[in-house]
Amino acid sequence: MASSRHSVHRPCESRFDFLVRCPSGEAAELLRDETPGVVAIALAHLDAQSAGFILGEPDTDKAVLVSLAWANLGLIPARAVDDVERRLRRKLSAGVEGGAGPVMAALSVVPVRAQDRIVAALRELDPGHAEMHDGARSLVVSLGTLVLTFEDLACLDSRSMQRVIRELHPRELAIALQAATQRVRRRVLENMSDRAAQVLDEEMELARHSSTVEIEEAQEKIASIIRQLEDSFEIFVDREGSDAVA
C-alpha cells in the first residue's frame, strides 16, 4: 500500500512548478506573507537554482527563518502538501491587487463571532453560479481551505484534536464551548478521557455566565493555536470533511 506521507527533501517535478514559471520576483511576492514553514514546503519541491533565487528575494530575517524551517522538514503528509499547493495556486490566480487574497486577509482579523457568521454565509454560496464573477468565485472556493474559524475545530482528526486540547486549560476550553455548536462540543468530548471530559463538563457549568467578550477571546485564542499548529504541520485540518490522516 502506498504511504500516506510524502517526502519533502527531494524535489517532485510536477509540484509547485507554477512558481518556476512566474515572472521574475512574482514567486517571491506570492510567498512573502506565508509562514516560513509553508515557504519551506514550496521551495523543497523546486530545483536548487529556482529555490535559491526565491530564497534570496525576502528580507534576511525571513530568509533565515525559511532556511531553518526547510532544514527541519521531515516527512509531511501528502494531503498537507497538496493543501499548500492548492492555496498558493489560488492565491496566484487571485492576484495581489484584488480578488480573494485581500478579502481573506481582512477576514482573518474580524472578531471571531462575526467572522464565523460571514464565512458560514459565504460558504453556503454556489461558486458555479452563472452570475458569480471570477473574483467572487475564487473567494468562495478558497474559503474552504484558507480561512480557519473556531467552528473548524470539528474538522480536526482525533490526533490533531488531542494535540490542540493539550495546549488549552480546561477553563479556556469551557468558556469557548459556551457558544459552540453541538458538533464541535461532541468532537471535543469524544477525544478526551472520561476524567478529562468530566472536568470539562464541570468547568462548562461554572462558565455558563461568561460574557460575550470572554467567549470571543477564548474562541479566538483556540483558532490562533490551530493556525499555528497547522502552519507548523503538527496538525491537519480536513476542511473537506472527509476522514483526515490518522
119-157 pLDDT per residue, tens: 777 767 766 665 556 656 666 665 555 556 788 888 888
Q: Where would I find the beta strands (DSSP E) of 73-145?
A: 75-77
Q: Which residues, including other chains, have CB under 8 Å from residue 161's CB and lie 6 or more apart?
A: 153, 187, 188, 191
- pLDDT greater than 50 at residue 70: yes
Integer Cα distance of 139 and 94 in angstroms? 8
Counted domains in the chain: 3
Claim to verify: residue 226 and residue 155 sit in the same structural domain: yes
Claim to verify: residue 162 and residue 223 sit in the same structural domain: yes
- Could you say which of 76, 110, 130 is where a domain stops? 76
Determine the pLDDT at residue 83.
85
Q: What is the mean pLDDT of the chain?
A: 77
60-67, Cβ contacts within 8 angstroms, sequence gap of 24 or more: 62/36, 65/36, 66/36, 66/39, 66/40
- pLDDT greater than 60 at residue 188: yes
Higher pLDDT, 183 or 238: 183
Determine the pLDDT at residue 198.
94
Range name among 9-18, 38-47, 164-173 with the lowest pLDDT average: 9-18
* Grid cell in block for residue 229: 499548529
Flag whether 68 is in a domain.
yes
Claim to verify: residue 141 and residue 156 sit in the same structural domain: no
- pLDDT greater than 50 at residue 13: no
Claim to verify: residue 133 and residue 175 sit in the same structural domain: no
Flag whether 245 is in a domain.
no
Determine the pLDDT at residue 150.
82
Determine the pLDDT at residue 19.
85
Claim to verify: residue 133 and residue 179 sit in the same structural domain: no
Range name among 10-14, 50-54, 104-108, 130-134 with the lowest pLDDT average: 10-14
Higher pLDDT, 198 or 53: 198
Claim to verify: residue 133 and residue 200 sit in the same structural domain: no
Flag whether 43 is in a domain.
yes
Flag whether 1 is in a domain.
no
Of 147, 120, 111, 144, which is closest to residue 219 (Cα–Cα)? Answer: 111
Average pLDDT over residues 197-219: 92
Claim to verify: residue 25 and residue 59 sit in the same structural domain: yes
Determine the pLDDT at residue 246.
37
Flag whether 116 is in a domain.
yes
Flag whether 84 is in a domain.
no
Claim to verify: residue 159 and residue 226 sit in the same structural domain: yes
> What is the per-residue pLDDT across 76-117, written as a single tens digit (0 to 9) for each?
888 888 888 888 888 777 554 455 566 666 776 666 667 667
- pLDDT greater than 70 at residue 191: yes
Report the CATH number at residue 11: 1.10.220.30
Integer Cα distance of 34 and 37 in angstroms? 8
* Grid cell in block for residue 135: 473574483
Integer Cα distance of 153 and 203 in angstroms? 19
Flag whether 83 is in a domain.
no
- pLDDT greater than 60 at residue 3: no
Q: What are phi and psi of 240, to 5 degrees?
A: -85, -5
CA 199 to chain centre: 29
Integer Cα distance of 142 and 122 in angstroms? 10
Provide the residue range defining the domain that includes 123.
Answer: 93-147
Flag whether 104 is in a domain.
yes
Higher pLDDT, 133 or 242: 133
Claim to verify: residue 143 and residue 185 sit in the same structural domain: no
